[in-house]
Amino acid sequence: MTTALVNGRVLTDNGFQSGFAVLVDGGTIAGLALPSDPRVRAAERVDLGGRTLLPGFIDCQVNGGGGVLFNDTPTVDAIRAIGQAHARFGTTGFLPTLISDDAAVMARAIDAVNDAVAQGVPGVLGIHLEGPFIAPERKGVHDPAKFRIADADDIAMVARRHGGVTLLTLAPERASDDVLRQLVDHGVIVCAGHTAADYDTTRNALSLGVRGFTHLFNAMTPFTSREPGVVGAALEDATSWCGLIVDGHHVHPASLRVAIAAKAKEKMILVTDAMPPVGSDNPNFVLKGETITARDGVCQTADGTLAGSALDMASAVRNTVDLVGVALDEASRMASTYPAAFLGLGATHGRIAAGCRADFVVVDDTLQVSETWIGGQQVFVAR
């Protein structure tokens, strides 16, 4: 049975449009049509009541949610719980993210994601391995006891083929040119992050296929007058993508405005770096044996180190509009269209267009999430 979403303001490839129905057939968008179209009259109608229909949000960095930390429980059930928690905030696609850990834990996490993709767990698109091939000087909240230089076994494990994408964050100064080439040649999406690299090292890594930068500004060498650093290389490069944590704490709004203006269009993506408090009533979680509490949207250790975030994607979009001054259509694309392109999924995800997956988020005038749809199925309705 075809479903027609009617009476909404729809973000299309040509901007916001009203007066069209979005036709969904078998989990795929069949197209946009006028209400007078016979396909609309024959379809099961869902009245959006004048609300706004956006492409579902895609989050490339999700450490946890719903009280679950992926590192603690790298299982299909954990992935399902994390996905359900984030679906409340419009996330229809995500990468469960494992921060630096032992090889055995990494292998379990990869297996769990493979199984989750095979079982069709809603929203899971692959895995993000954030470390352990990163720099002690820029460790952030990661445990340096887990850090190591990638060897042949690590490359084989990370590059193992499965039904989803694999994103790996590493410090390019701690990987040889040959390692970078092997990872890229095996289809791994490689990002620079938690890195003390200089500008030249970063430029070389980009030439070898590094595709993006994990949480720009945070845990990397800064942009200064005589040493552009990782940030300078990232903003100068026209082909790579940059992840931004727009929570008002990780990066100052002025820095975000400058970065967005400097970077090539369509190359900035919103991420949450979310921890277990997102979608949970419990603000506390344990990381490396230390209890961390989310207060006023900030997750910090006792010494003030940021420990991920309590950010969700809907809030990231609102913040990008309200704090940074980006128009809603562009902020929405930073949370959907551009992440899809970054992951190589632009033909099927992140857009409201014929042939794309029917992944939607319905928001009201205040950009609060009313409904979330994944694959043409309504998975969340605000009560």
The catalytic residues are: 273
Helical packing angle, 229-236 and 199-207, nearest 10°: 40
Distance (Å, whole) CA 307 – CA 236: 28
Which residue(s) pair with 284 in the sheet? 293
Q: For residue 312, give the nearest of 54, 59, 140, 53 by alpha carbon.
A: 59
> Cα torsion for 58, 125, 110, 68, to the nearest 10°?
50
Count CB-CB contacts under 10 A for residue 134. Answer: 30
Closest CA to 380 of 88, 152, 43: 88
What whole-number distance in Å separates Cα of residue 202 and Cα of residue 278? 33
From residue 43, give the alpha-carbon distance in Å to each of 7, 18, 22, 218: 14, 19, 11, 48
Based on the number of CB atoms within 10 Å of its own CB, is 104 exposed (0-12), middle (13-18) or buried (19 or more)? exposed
Sheet holding 126-130, edge to edge: 57-62, 91-99, 126-130, 165-170, 189-192, 212-213, 241-244, 268-270
Nearest to 324 by CA among 383, 250, 231: 250
Q: Cα–chain-centroid distance for residue 225? A: 31
Q: How many CB atoms lie within 10 A of CB 249?
A: 16
Per the structure block, which two tokens stand in for 376? 């043409």
> Which of 309, 305, 251, 307 lies closest to 65, judged by CA?
309
Picking from 351, 88, 344, 341, the residue whose alpha carbon sits closest to that of residue 360 is 351
CA 302 – CA 178 distance, rounded (Å) = 39
- CA separation, residue 201 to residues 176, 196, 232, 294 (Å): 11, 10, 12, 36
